[in-house]
């Protein structure tokens, strides 16, 4: 019995140490979430305004031609997938990776029909293990990523579409709703063939020409959407990690309480047995 009690006590200490770690991680994630959420929300008006300007120019320019606005027969597809570098974030990575994997399995019969652009070590490692074609990757992002941190993959994804390397580009990321809810999202990024639908035409004069302005703005708009998704993904990551660590802390507390109850019962049984032995020994001597 004594050995069993020692084991229980050791297990209680182990769970208490783990509870301290998960509680600390929950608090750190909550602190980082506030900053990441602010960055994600601040980026949306810029993307919306840029879309408004691009749509206005495209709608007001007759016979405008640009590779990013043209729908082509789908022979090859690009996927840009945003994940995290670290785990311990609940289903944050698993949900988005499962979603893109199911899509690829349904749409493609061979690896020649698609390419992957990956942001985040978890996604990179996942696709590497399955020998899936990764064209460009970015890992090791900071907790507050700047556009410069993801510029290489964003520019490559947009340029390769414009060059005809593939005929459509999809963006996969976790859309941030709140600390508890993050929605795995699929968004067709390119072509931007529907951007001018319902747009208001502004009577502006453009230098050197509307086509020249679109030539510069369209890639920037697509890259801005990617960066905005990265910021959403960061906020979602911290929200998911905060929720996961909160649940782990609650589970640790529950296990500690159960083990403490078991320990107290074992201790009470041991004391009762000792008292019984003492009484029995006293009775035997009388």
Q: Do 22 and 50 belong to one domain? A: no
Q: Do 201 and 77 belong to one domain? A: yes
Q: Do 180 and 265 belong to one domain? A: no
For residue 32, being part of any structural domain is answered with no
CA atoms in the 13 A half-sphere facing the CB of 212: 5
For residue 34, being part of any structural domain is answered with no
For residue 37, being part of any structural domain is answered with no
Q: Containing domain of residue 21, as a range?
A: 2-26+245-285
Q: Do 118 and 251 belong to one domain? A: no
Tens digit of pLDDT for each residue in 222-277?
999 999 999 999 999 999 999 999 999 999 999 999 999 999 988 888 888 888 87
Distance between CA 187 and CA 169 in Å, rounded? Answer: 9
pLDDT bin (cut points 50, 70, 90) of residue 63 is: low
Q: Do 55 and 184 belong to one domain? A: yes
For residue 38, being part of any structural domain is answered with no
Q: Which pLDDT value is given to residue 114?
A: 97
Q: Do 20 and 110 belong to one domain? A: no
- Tell which of 243, 261, 276 closes a domain: 243
- The side-by-side arrangement of strands in the sheet containing 114-119 is 134-138, 114-119, 77-82, 168-176, 182-190
Q: Do 165 and 260 belong to one domain? A: no
For residue 33, being part of any structural domain is answered with no
The pTM for the full model equals: 0.87
Q: Are 93 and 234 in contact (CB under 8 A)?
A: no
- The CATH number of residue 237's host domain is 3.40.1380.10
Q: Which pLDDT value is given to residue 203?
A: 65
DSSP string, 103-164: HHHHH-SSGGGEEEEEESHHHHHHHHHTT--EEEEE----SS--HHHHHHHHHHHHHHHHTT
Q: Which pLDDT value is given to residue 227?
A: 95
Domain count, the chain: 2
Q: Which pLDDT value is given to residue 17?
A: 95
For residue 119, being part of any structural domain is answered with yes
For residue 236, being part of any structural domain is answered with yes
Using omega within 30 degrees of 0 as the cis cutoff, is the peptide bond preceding 260 cis?
A: no
Distance between CA 262 and CA 267 in Å, rounded? Answer: 9
For residue 186, being part of any structural domain is answered with yes
Of 85, 84, 107, 86, residue with least CA distance to 96: 84
Q: Distance between alpha carbon 60 and the CA centroid of its chain, in Å?
A: 38
- The CATH number of residue 264's host domain is 1.10.287.80
Q: Do 50 and 18 belong to one domain? A: no
Q: Do 112 and 200 belong to one domain? A: yes
Distance between CA 199 and CA 52 in Å, rounded? Answer: 7
Distance between CA 57 and CA 63 in Å, rounded? Answer: 12
Q: Do 227 and 251 belong to one domain? A: no
Distance between CA 220 and CA 248 in Å, rounded? Answer: 42
Tens digit of pLDDT for each residue in 97-144?
999 999 999 999 999 999 999 999 999 999 999 999 999 999 999 999
Q: Do 90 and 187 belong to one domain? A: yes
Q: Do 252 and 160 belong to one domain? A: no
């Amino acid at each position: 019995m004594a050995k069993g009690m020692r084991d229980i006590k050791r297990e209680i200490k182990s769970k208490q140490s783990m509870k301290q770690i998960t509680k600390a991680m929950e608090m750190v994630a909550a602190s980082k979430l506030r900053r990441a959420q602010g960055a994600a929300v601040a980026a949306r008006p810029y993307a919306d305004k840029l879309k408004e300007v691009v749509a206005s120019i495209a709608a007001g320019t007759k016979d405008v031609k640009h590779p990013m606005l043209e729908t082509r027969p789908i022979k090859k597809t690009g996927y840009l997938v945003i994940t995290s570098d670290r785990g311990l974030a609940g289903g944050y990575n698993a949900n988005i990776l499962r979603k893109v994997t199911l899509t690829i399995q349904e749409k493609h019969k061979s690896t020649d029909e698609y390419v992957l652009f990956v942001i985040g070590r978890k996604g990179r490692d996942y696709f590497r293990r399955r020998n899936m074609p990764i064209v460009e990757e970015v890992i090791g992002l900071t907790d507050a990523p700047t556009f410069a941190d993801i510029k290489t993959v964003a520019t490559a994804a947009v340029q390769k579409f414009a060059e005809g390397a593939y005929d459509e580009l999809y963006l996969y990321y976790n859309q941030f709703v709140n600390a508890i809810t993050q929605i795995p999202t699929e968004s067709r990024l390119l072509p931007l063939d529907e951007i001018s639908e319902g747009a208001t035409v502004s009577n502006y004069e453009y230098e050197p020409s509307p086509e020249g302005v679109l030539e510069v703005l369209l890639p920037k708009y697509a890259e801005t959407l990617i960066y905005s998704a990265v910021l959403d993904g960061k906020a979602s990551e911290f929200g998911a990690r905060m929720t996961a660590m909160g649940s782990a802390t609650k589970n640790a507390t529950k296990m500690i309480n159960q083990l403490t109850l078991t320990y107290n019962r074992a201790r009470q049984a041991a004391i009762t047995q000792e008292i019984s032995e003492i009484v029995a020994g006293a009775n035997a001597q009388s």
